[in-house]
Amino acid sequence: MSKRGCGSPEHLIHRRLFLEGTMAGASASAASFSGQFSIPAFAKTTQRAAKKCILLWLCGAPSQFETWDPKPGVETGGPFGSIPTSLPGVHISSLMPQCAGIMDKLAVIRSMSTKPSEHFQGIDALTRGDTPRPPFTRPILGSVISQQLGQIDSPVPQFVLLDPCPEGNEFKSFKAGNWAGWLGAEYGPVRAGGDYSIPNLDRLDSISDLDHEDRETLRQFLSRKFENDQRSDAAGALNASFQRVRGLMSCAPLFDLNQLPEEDRNRYGRGAFSQHVLQARHLIENGSTFVMVANGMPWDNHVYQHEMHQMLVPELDNVLFQLVTDLDQRGLLEDTLVIAMGEFGRTPWLNEARGRDHYPNAWSLAMAGGGVDGGVVNG
């Protein structure tokens, strides 16, 4: 008999293979998901477990030295010290005292090494799994996860992107585009942000409920007939988009942060990034599968590195602490992977403007939950 099991599909999955294919591997390569999900036993196991993911995308790339991998005492180590954590012998930046207290729940990788050194290419490689391959467009990680693990018939959007500039900011990587690639537009994200709500979802007062339903029934009939007659994938994606809008109309209150306790909003902090992370927790609790939270591009500190990180890192420290603690207390952490990362790291040296430049050779990220062992520092 094979050491791997008796031949039953249940025994084709062991812990290492499972974690390699779950969201733990997401930060390194989205492409690995497509391969793992082609294993029927793996797909059934993950769907049954209802795994979910919250990806905190730290746009612009934070410095590992002011977060997870401090180097105090060296010439370019910066003015901030390191502090002990709940893991004996492990220190992180003194700017992160709350995360230091929950290091037993975190897994930190200090040995990330990637190739792209520019923002757009770095984001593409980490979220799509590889460099572009024209004429194909690779699906982004959230699209893969929502397609494989999500409930496509759920009115709650399975892939949500929360961004302070939902229309797309000057950082072109987060402008509207072909997120879902070859999977189809129905697996693209619902984008929200700004006012923490989905605009333009209310039915006109001049249209009754009955008229609204009759119009939708007619639209479905005509669209489905065209789709069948023309064998059009584009028409199918358009029909799926209409269904998504109808779903959003029914679950719009999920995007209204005014529905959440004021105490929670204050705990997370009143900044846009903090509020979006709270919103991500709320969406995951209520049926979303993958929520990506972006925060503009504040981490690209080519100038005044220390001053900028002194403002940004405490917010990240609090948000990550609140999110991991909340998920743990609500019994959601075991099945929800939290990833906090940017597109690369920052140089071990300072430039003439007292900033750190792009550095993909060695950088850090942090994870928690989703079956990933906490209390681990790698590298």
Question: pLDDT digits over 216-235, tens only?
Answer: 778 777 777 777 777 766 66
Class of domain 52-196+272-378: alpha beta
Percent of the chain with pLDDT over 90: 53
Q: Of residues 102 and 14, which shows the higher confidence score?
A: 102
The predicted model gives 271-299 an average pLDDT of: 93
Beta carbons within 8 Å of 197's beta carbon, 6+ residues apart: 252, 255, 256, 257
Would you state the pLDDT for residue 364?
98
Would you state the pLDDT for residue 213?
74
Is the model's pLDDT at 136 over the cut of 70? yes
Count of Cβ atoms closer than 10 Å to residue 348 Cβ: 17
- The CA-CA-CA angle for residues 344, 345, 347, to 5°, reads 135
The predicted model gives 144-161 an average pLDDT of: 88
Count of Cβ atoms closer than 10 Å to residue 1 Cβ: 6
Question: Concatenated DSSP letters for 154-193?
Answer: -SS-SEEEE-SSTT--SSGGGSS--SSGGG-GGGSPEEEB
Is the model's pLDDT at 159 over the cut of 90? yes
pTM, rounded to two decimals: 0.80
Q: Of residues 10 and 138, which shows the higher confidence score?
A: 138
The predicted model gives 233-245 an average pLDDT of: 67
Would you state the pLDDT for residue 184?
83
Per-residue model confidence as pLDDT tens digits over 192-215 = 877 766 666 666 777 787 876 777
Is the model's pLDDT at 133 over the cut of 90? no
Would you state the pLDDT for residue 41?
54
Strands (E), the chain: 52-57, 82-84, 91-93, 106-112, 159-162, 190-192, 290-294, 336-341, 345-346, 358-359, 363-369, 376-378
pLDDT-derived band of residue 246, with 50, 70 and 90 as boundaries? Answer: low
> Distance of alpha carbon 58 from its chain centroid, rounded?
10
Is the model's pLDDT at 251 over the cut of 80? no
Would you state the pLDDT for residue 15?
41
Task: Indicate the average pLDDT of the chain.
Answer: 82
Is the model's pLDDT at 5 over the cut of 90? no
**C-alpha closest to that of 20 among 379, 375, 372, 376:** 372
Strand 91-93 with 336-341, pairing: unpaired
Per-residue model confidence as pLDDT tens digits over 58-91 = 999 999 999 999 999 988 888 999 999 999 999 9
Would you state the pLDDT for residue 164?
77
Per-residue model confidence as pLDDT tens digits over 167-195 = 555 444 455 568 888 888 888 888 887 77
Per-residue model confidence as pLDDT tens digits over 314-369 = 999 999 999 999 999 999 999 999 999 999 999 999 999 999 999 999 999 999 99
Would you state the pLDDT for residue 320?
98
Is the model's pLDDT at 292 over the cut of 50? yes
| Rg from Cα positions in the chain | 22
Is the model's pLDDT at 22 over the cut of 60? no
pLDDT-derived band of residue 3, with 50, 70 and 90 as boundaries? Answer: very low
